[in-house]
Structure formats: C-alpha cells, structure tokens
Chains A and B, each alone.
Chain A
Amino acid sequence: MAHEHTADAHDTHAAHDDHDDHDHGPAHGWRRWVYATNHKDIGTMYLIFACVMFFVGGFMAMIIRAELFQPGLQLVEPQFFNSMTTMHALVMIFGAVMPAWTGLANWMIPMQVGAPDMALPRLNNFSFWILPFAFTLLLSTLFVPGGSPAGGWTLYPPLSLQGGSGFPMAIFAIHLMGASSILGSINVVVTIMNMRAPGVGLLNMPLFCWSWLITAYLLIATMPVLAGAVTMLLTDHFFATSFFSASGGGDPVMFQHIFWFFGHPEVYILILPAFGIISEIVPTFSRKPLFGYDAMVYATAAIAFLSFIVWAHHMFTVGMPLAGQLFFTLSTMLISIPTGVKVFNWTATMWKGSLSFEPPMLFALAFLFLFTIGGFSGLMLAIVPADFQYHDTYFVVAHFHYVLVPGAVFAIMAGTYYWLPKWSGKMYDMKLATWHFWLSAIFVNVLFFPQHFLGLAGMPRRIPDYSVQFADWNMVSSIGAFGFGLSQLLFPWIIWKCVKSGSPATSHVWEGSHGLEWELSSPPPYHSWTEHPSREIIARGVQH
C-alpha cells in the first residue's frame, strides 16, 4: 500500500516539523509513553485510562447497589454512601466517558481527515498526563479526614461547603480535569480546521469528526464556567466570601444556575461523540451511505446551540417565575426535534439496507432503542408540572442512566469493537464480543428499567435506605447491576486476547466500511497519513 513508501516523503518535512529522533517509530520502554507525542500512543493511553476509571467507578456503583439490595443499612454508613454516589458520578463522567471520547478522537480524527497526527502533539501529551494526577488527587480524598465529597457531583452549596479536607482537593482535581479537557478540545479544533487533507471538505468529513468538532467548542465554552463556579465555592469556604451564602447576602441558587450552564452542555459533551460513532457504524453494517448527512450535521449543531439555553430544567423545583418555567420547558422540548431528526435518519439509513449484526452493530442498535427510551423519559421530565413529581426521584436516575450507559457507554464499546481491528491489526473473538453484548444489553435493562417504577412510586434519589414498599424493584435493580458489572469484565479480556493472539485483520476489516481510516493498513503506520491521500483514495473514502 501507498503509505509504505511515504516514510521517505516525510523526511522532506522532518527538518521543519520537529527534531525528534524517533520520528519514524515509537521510542522504546517508558519513554514511549511518558514523552508520547504520537496521536495513537496518546489515544491508547486515554482509552486505557478510561477503562480503568470505568471499573473504579463501576466498583463504586456496585457498593451503592449492594447497600440498596434490601432495606436497612447492611454495609456502609450513610455518609460513605453519599461519597460513593458523588464519586461514582465524577469518576464516570470525567474519568471514564470524557477521556474515552478524547482517546477515540486522538486515534480516529487524524486518520479520518487524512493527517499524519494531531496538530499539537506536545499539548496532547500534556492534556493526557494531567489526568492521572487529577484522579489520584480526587480518589485520595477517600482517605483524608472528613472523607471524599459527599454532597453529590453537582456540588450544591451550602451542603458541599460542609465537606472536610477532601473538598479543596476535589476542587483542584476538577480544575485539572477542566484544563485537560480544554487543551484536548483545542487540539481537536485545530486538527480538524487545519489538518484536513485536500479534498476532505468540512461537509464531507465523517460525522465523528463533526460531532467532535462541535463537542470541542462546547467544552471550550463551558469548562471555564465550571472552573469559575467551583472557584467561588473555594473562596466561600476559605476566604470568607459569600457568593452562595444567603446569610452573607449571597445566593445559593446562583450556584445552580452557573453549574447547570456548564452542566447541560456537559451532558451533550458526553453524548454528541456517541452520535458521531453511531453515524459511522449504522451505515457500515447497513451497507448503505448515511441518510441525510447534511441534516445530521445541522441537527448536531442545533442540539449544541439549544444545550446552552435549557440549563434551568435541572432545577425546576428551586422556585422560578412562571415565565422562566415556561421558557425552559419549551426550549427543552425543542431539543427533541433535532434529536428526533437524528434517530429518524439512522432508521432511514437502515431502511432498504443490507443489514448484518456484528458486535459494533449490535451495540449501535441497542443504542438506538435504549437511547430513544432515555429520550422519551427526558421529554416527560421537560414537562414542568410532571417534573414536580419526577424531580430528584429514581425516575431521573433511570433517565440519565439510559442516555449515559446504553447511550454513551454502549457507543464507546461499539466504537471500540468497530475500530479495534484497525488499531491492533487483529480480529477479536466475535463470539465472545456477541456474548458481551447480549449480557450487557439484558442486564442494563434489568438494572435501570425498574428504576422508572421506583421513581414514579415515590423513591427519592441519593438515599442509602428506603421504606419497604420499594424493596422488590430495588432488589431486581441490584441483581441487574451485579450482572452488568460482571459482564463488563469480558470487555478488557476480549481486547487483551485480540491484541495478544487475534488473527490478522484486513485493511477494510468490514465489508461495508467506508472512510479514509479504512484506506490505511491495519494496524496503520505510526504517522498515519504522511502524505496526502491520493485523489482516488479521497474519492473512495469521503462521505459523499
């Protein structure tokens, strides 16, 4: 293939590109990882980090579900239980899902736009290496006096201000995570804007790039807002300011407005790259181009815009003027329009296709069904009067886990099973991966579906113990949780087995695969596209 000759071509650029001796291959030993500037090495580190955090956060979820297995307190004190719910959320959001997206972006964006690497390789190294320190700091709060933050991941004051030594540590950790996200996002924006090969236009690059481009802007816009909010918490606690203290003339509700101005775009940061991945996988296994590419791009942009004007739907019960409640209910309902457009376009992509059901497609299909269920409960939550009943109950817990677990997490797994043969050059055990899918898909519903019932029946969220009328469904949900948690152990095992002893993969891997990344060998060369893909490759590889 062409790229085997491209190493020579690269030499002409090497003089002004960089002066790294390891230009044409990885360094050996620990230097390869600590000094990493290669998008694939950094992507791999991001993905491994995300996987580790997925199991750390998952273990916390197991503690939560074990305590909730039956009424009464059997295992942990209420304060520790609250620490677990808080840390589970922070670890899963900032440690598992977001780094997984950045890892996938690192691996795929340069290959998909025909670039040799990310635009800013040293920044890339920095943005990754912040994360292990941030999470060491965050997780070490479990061992300091006063324990880790236990006021919920939303950190609402005045409660969060009652935290012990873990409080400033968690805030510093959040600052670090935010810095890492911003740097990673700048890299994505610069790469997509400047590194596209000739012939790869904005409106024919893969939707994964589009969804990440938009996500990157959301991150750059909202992470500083979160940083500001938590800094104000810090000064309220240590420097006698009273931004959020009513007794000092401040306003505890203001924190919630600022937090959710970050927080709602944040939930789209967690899901937009998933939309991108699903938009890659469904066409591949339908053997048909994506239906309505332009509409998909505009819908993603519309969702991103709307995500900035709906924040107060997380706080309908704080007491808002009627006009405010109406505005936020209507703007929230509007989000279902572009989201619906996406679901309809995916469905239309399958229509009159030629479908096959390899593991990536199975996860993508589960995404379509279960994310849509999460969308329905989201629509119900947008209806303010009904939200007065749903708010802060298990109905909300069911809703956001439906969009985040069979939504974001399944999309990450779908993406991994889709591109793993490309990354490693080897095929994984499809049968085992299919088992992983079915176990996950069944248990995730056993785990989260009954939580709708619990919420509607009146069980508040974030309680360590409950009255006996909620016992049955809690037990079912916990059984689902243990099943789901155990099934996930298959995931790293399948990947390990693939990397160690998989059979060789072809460059296109899948019958219907389509895009520049599939024009490279499996595994791809160390510097993906060292020269621009030829006109024929572009013609084969771009979207339309």
Chain B
Amino acid sequence: MSFHMKNAYARRGLQAAFVSLFALLASAAHADWGGLNMTEGVSILSKEIYALHMKIFYYCVAIGVVVFGVMIYSLIKFRKSQGAQADTTLVHSTKVEIIWTVIPILILVAMAIPTARSLIKIEDMGNVALNIKVTGYQWKWEYEYLNENVRFFSTLKRDSNHARQLGSGIDPATVPHYLLDVDNALVIPAGTKIRFLLTAQDVIHAWWVPAFGMKKDAIPGYVNEIWVQVDADKVGTYRGQCAELCGQDHGFMPIVVEVKSPADYDKWLRAKQEEQKVAGEVSPTAAVNTAVASAAPAAVQQ
C-alpha cells in the first residue's frame, strides 16, 4: 500500500468525520438546545434579547472557568494528604485586591453598554402601525384592536380545561397543545410594528409570549406598553402564558398569537369586523354584548 493511498483514505475518513460532526452540531443547535436554552424568538427584540443573553452567559462561563479553575487547582494541589504545607504569611495583598476589583468593573462596563443600548431600543415606541389593548382578568385575556372596532376574549380551550381538572383521568399528552391553546387566538400581521397596551381589571397579570421576547405586567389602574415586530417571514402560531401569580387559575390563562401575512391579516380583520357588527346589531351595547358572548358563562366579574 502506497503512502498516497493511505493518505487519501485518511483524508476521506477525516472528511466524513467532520461532516458527521457538523451534522451533529447542527442538529444539536436545532434540536437539543431547544429544551435547554432561551428561544431566539421571531421578533426584532427577541433576537436582540437572545444575543444579549448569550453574551452575558458566555461572560459568566469565562469568569466561571477562571474562578472555578483556581478553586479546583487549589483543591488538588494544596491537599494536606498530599503533604502540602500552609504558607501562613500569605494573608493580605492590596495589589491583588485592587486587581480583582478593577477587572470585574471593566467586565461590568462591557456588559452595561450593550444592555443600555438594547434597553433604549426596547423603550422606543415610535412609528407603530397597530395598537392592541390587552386586558387581564381572572383568568382570561381580552384583546381590543384600537380604532378597528374589534375586541374579544381569549380563554383556555375546553379540552385542556377538562384534562387539567384534578383526577380527570385524561392524559395531558393526548390533548393537543395542552394548557397552551385558546378559543380565540390573537391575530397580528407579520413585519409590522405593533404596540401592546397592557392593563388588568382585577389583580396583576403579566403578558408573555417567549418568542416575542417581551414580558410586562398588566396592572389595574396602569397602562403598560411593549412593542413587537415579528419578522415578515415568520408567519405561524406562537404561545405563551400569564407570568404573574394571579390566583388559583394562574396556570390556566394561556396566550396564543397567530401571526399572518399582512394580506391574510387584513382579510381576517375584515371578517372579524363583520362578525362583530352583526353581533352589535342585535344589541346597541356592542362592546358589553361581545364581552358577554365570548366570555365563559361562569365568568361574572365581582
């Protein structure tokens, strides 16, 4: 066997190994990380926040490697059982105290600058194309498309609600999107900057869709605001939950958002407007009627 042939084999073997390694890494990046790490999400802010999260995480990992490295080295190297003698003169050094104060300050500055930059972006509520008012109730959400004459309630879907009762005997795994499905999903257009105005009627709730990156409290007497712009190509369904303890059914008021293309969204909005107009013609107090119609029968507010 010639040297060249051997080399070629080796090269091909190496190539195969690399390809499969990359495939493994790629699949790990797509599949396995999913359950372990924060989602990168589909909005401008969620990606910004994800990048910041990873940056701080890597800073922490780097600091951890150094600090834990020194600790582990000491644990191995300076064992009495290995005959280590204590150097009792080593009790103070102003120089090292200054070093390990100043270096962390520099790291913090490196963290603080991108933090401030992201925060300014998050707080920029200018140029919104659509305003949606979100009201939290025990235990459902109400969505109102401001100036569009559309409002409706959104509650946990019936099959999840049956399955989640104590001793229901229904296996949650058999329920599609267990606890994360609603009767009326919020619908928004992709590629559009949308402002959500958050408030509540009874106690404090928090509106959170992880894929959008933002979470904010819905507080009685307050109107909080966040903005979301989903990437134009990220049409789909995104799910979240109430994130502030709001009583016994806090775990059972999910959020479902269907992101449609602007054209599909317009179609949906017109259909919804028609539907609500019809409901409105039956009774002059349209808003109240809609609320009562779409709320579960038991949902009488105090």
List chain A positions with a Cβ less than 8 A from chain B.
71-79, 82, 150-152, 156, 158-159, 162, 246-247, 251-253, 286-295, 317-319, 322, 325-326, 329-330, 333-334, 336-337, 340-341, 343-344, 347-348, 350-356, 365, 368-369, 372-373, 376, 379-380, 383-386, 388-389, 391-393, 453, 456-458, 460-469, 472-473, 544
Contacts and interface: CB of A to CB of B under 8 A. Distances in A.
Contact of A350 (B71, B105, B120, B202): B71
B253 to A, nearest CB: 10
A291 B68 contact: no
B76 to A, nearest CB: 9
Given A354-B84, A386-B56, A457-B36, A317 B220 contact: no
Contacts of A295: 97
A353 B222 contact: no
Contact of A392 (B37, B122, B215): B215
Given A343-B67, A354-B85, A292 B97 contact: yes
B60 A288 contact: no
Contacts of B249: 78
B172 A246 contact: no
Nearest to B49: A385
Given A292-B93, A337-B105, A468 B116 contact: no
Given A372-B68, A385-B115, 10 more contacts: A72-B172, A73-B164, A288-B87, A288-B90, A317-B243, A353-B87, A385-B119, A461-B245, A462-B245, A462-B251
Closest 8 CB pairs of A and B: A246-B221, A463-B251, A319-B224, A352-B87, A354-B86, A376-B60, A458-B210, A71-B172
Contacts of A286: 78, 86
8 contacts: A152-B245, A159-B203, A253-B219, A365-B75, A385-B115, A385-B122, A457-B38, A460-B251
A392 B75 CA distance: 37
B47 to A, nearest CB: 11
Contacts of A333: 108, 111-112
Given A288-B87, A319-B224, A456-B38, A151 B245 contact: yes
Most chain B CB inside 10 Å of its own CB: which residue of A75, A77, A162, A354:
A354
A460 B92 contact: no
Interface stretch (B12-20, B175-183, B187-195, B291-299): B175-183
Interface in B238-261: 240-252
A72 B164 contact: yes
B49 A456 contact: no
Given A380-B60, A388-B49, A462-B245, A318 B119 contact: no
B101 A341 contact: yes
A350 B173 CA distance: 51
Contacts of B287: none
A344 B78 CA distance: 16
Contacts of A379: 56, 60, 111
B171 interface: yes
A99 B111 CA distance: 38
A533 B91 CA distance: 25
Contacts of B34: 457
B42 to A, nearest CB: 14
B78 A159 contact: no
A376 B243 CA distance: 23
B283 interface: no
Given A350-B71, A355-B74, A392-B215, A383 B52 contact: yes
Nearest to A291: B91
A150 B112 contact: no
Given A73-B165, A458-B210, A386 B53 contact: yes
Given A337-B104, A368-B71, A467-B178, A329 B115 contact: yes
A461 B39 CA distance: 17
Given A353-B86, A356-B80, A158 B104 contact: no
A467 B74 contact: no
A288 B88 contact: yes
A246 B241 CA distance: 24
A476 to B, nearest CB: 12
A330 B242 CA distance: 28
A355 B68 contact: no
Contacts of A389: 38, 49, 53, 210, 213, 215
Contact of B78 (A350, A388, A453): A350
Contacts of B159: none
Given A376-B64, A388-B49, A456-B36, A322 B210 contact: no
B92 A293 contact: yes
Interface residues of B, number: 95
A65 to B, nearest CB: 16
Interface string B31-49: 0001111110000010011
A460 B168 CA distance: 23
Nearest to B171: A72
Contacts of A318: 217, 219, 222, 224
A162 B173 CA distance: 34
B213 A388 contact: yes
B178 A468 contact: yes
A372 B217 contact: no
Given A333-B111, A456-B38, A82 B215 contact: no
Contacts of A465: 164, 172, 179, 251-252
A288 B171 CA distance: 59
B53 A460 contact: no
Interface string B61-82: 0011001101100110011110
A273 B76 CA distance: 28
A79 B81 CA distance: 54
A343 B104 CA distance: 12
A156 B204 contact: yes
Contacts of A75: 166
Contacts of A252: 204, 219-222
Contacts of B74: 347, 350-351, 353, 355
B100 interface: yes
Contacts of A76: 166
Contacts of B164: 72-73, 465
Contacts of A329: 112, 115, 119
B246 A159 contact: yes
Contact of A158 (B57, B93, B111, B204): B204
